[in-house]
Amino acid sequence: MLLAGELGAGKTCFAQGIAEGLDTPADSPVTSPSYTLLNVHAGRLPLYHFDLYRLSRVEDLEDLGYDEIAEGEGVTLVEWADRLTTLPSASLRVTLARLDTMRRKLCFEADDVIGRELIAALAEAANTL
């Protein structure tokens, strides 16, 4: 999942929701990994949480093993993905926009079948609320 949006749009909060859905233990809080570029959280599936806010070179992402992680088991979530000149492949792109202090607008875009299935499932769940 590639996340984009201005500072304060809710990218880390979105990541926390994903972690909660994956049953990540409360003693492993999901915070912005801005200084480490990558945090890994255990849950039903591993959550690989990248934050590219301070990424200085695209090669740093490669050095962290992004391609292997993204193609492996688990969920890969990338904050500040819009800072890359070339977006890595992903199933889902989410753009967050701050409307006011309490409301956000989320735009979901799918890059493949998996992403389209996720969006369809989200739409179905939203229609049952």
Query: pLDDT by residue (tens digit) across 67-77?
Result: 788 778 899 89
Checking if the pLDDT of 126 tops 70, the result is yes
Its CATH class, for the domain covering 2-127, is alpha beta
The amino acid at 15: A
Residue pair 93/108 in contact (Cβ under 8 Å)? The answer is yes
Tokens of 5: 């949006």
* CA dihedral for 112, 73, 5, 38, sign (positive or negative): negative
| pTM across the whole model | 0.85
pLDDT for res 34: 59
Checking if the pLDDT of 64 tops 70, the result is yes
pLDDT for res 21: 93
Task: Give residues with Cβ within 8 angstroms of 6, minimum separation 6.
Answer: 97, 98
Checking if the pLDDT of 116 tops 70, the result is yes
